[in-house]
A = this chain, B = another copy of it.
Amino acid sequence: MAEASKQDLIVGVDLGGTKILAGVFTSQLKLLQTAKLTTKADRGFSSVVERIARCVLDAVDEADTSVKHVRAVGIGAPGAVDPTEGEVIFAPNLKWEKAPLKAELEKRLGVPVFAENDCNVCTLGVHEVEFKGKPRELLGIFLGTGIGAGLIIDGKLYGGFNRTAGEVGHMVLEVNGPKCGCGNQGCFEALASRIAIFREISKRIKDGGKTILTDKLVENVIEEAAEYTGIAIANLVNILSPEVVVLGGGIMDALEDEMLSIIVETAHDYAMPGTMKDVEIVASKLGDHAGITGAAVLARQHAKGS
């Protein structure tokens, strides 16, 4: 690799409740190498920061370069983030509150760090890499263990007054529906996340014993999750009128063929006339790399002037 490109590297970090993934990118967003560590959130904030820094250095080392060739680091964190201060306002999965992520990571790495909410970062990555930054209004929805989203409004990431916008997972779709981890009932996340799907499958197997075909039962549960997702998208299209809705996350990556057509059909059934005109509903192709890619885009945007 030429020395010139080495001086222009970017690292994107995807910080999750259980694992840390770091990726080294060229300034053209070509992924060179990755590294992975477990998060071990129970050891506390300082320990996690040390592990993130180690993961970044591991990835840089895998790419046969050093951190002095890294222009900036971007990181997506699972919680509400103040992107100006780089502070994690709160992240329930990590048990963090007012955690100075940017400041502490910069101390350890000696490189500018930029932080954002994880779903915002994924949405930014999809917007920039898969849509060339063109749609002015884009909604990214990520179906995994939980459900989250990010909003691009007027071409930029949108956080709202409390930097908490995009909490679509706790949109109530069925007032007396199944219990959600948040304490409410009938949240989108309680109807269509990985946890919801597994819970529903176990429940129906238990109810029906072995008298019914398990394959068909699983298919039905996944179809219903897709229908709820379609209804959630219709609600969001009615409220926000985006140009593009992109779906990502582990559930979509694994079940796109089974779910996407049902999602699109249901969304069209439920949305108001006129709201769906020329609106695209598609699955992201970034898969597991959405987080690190988006974090690299975030770092590149902010480091442009530097």
Contact = CB atoms under 8 A, between A and B. Distances in A.
A240 B272 contact: no
Interface stretch (A164-172, A205-213, A283-291): A164-172
Contacts of A274: 80, 89-90, 162, 164
A234 interface: yes
Contacts of A92: 273
A239 interface: yes
A158 interface: yes
Q: What's the number of copies of this chain in the assembled complex?
A: 2
Chain A, interface residues (CB within 8 Å), range: 35 or more
B172 A175 contact: no
A175 B231 contact: yes
A277 interface: yes
B90 A273 contact: yes
A305 interface: no
Contacts of A261: none
A170 B276 CA distance: 14
Nearest to A242: B161
Contact of A236 (B176, B228, B239, B243): B239
A33 interface: no
Contacts of A173: 172-175
Contacts of A203: none
Contacts of A235: 171-172, 235
19 contacts: A89-B274, A137-B160, A149-B239, A153-B153, A160-B242, A161-B242, A162-B275, A163-B241, A164-B275, A167-B275, A168-B238, A172-B235, A172-B270, A173-B173, A173-B175, A174-B174, A174-B176, A175-B231, A239-B239
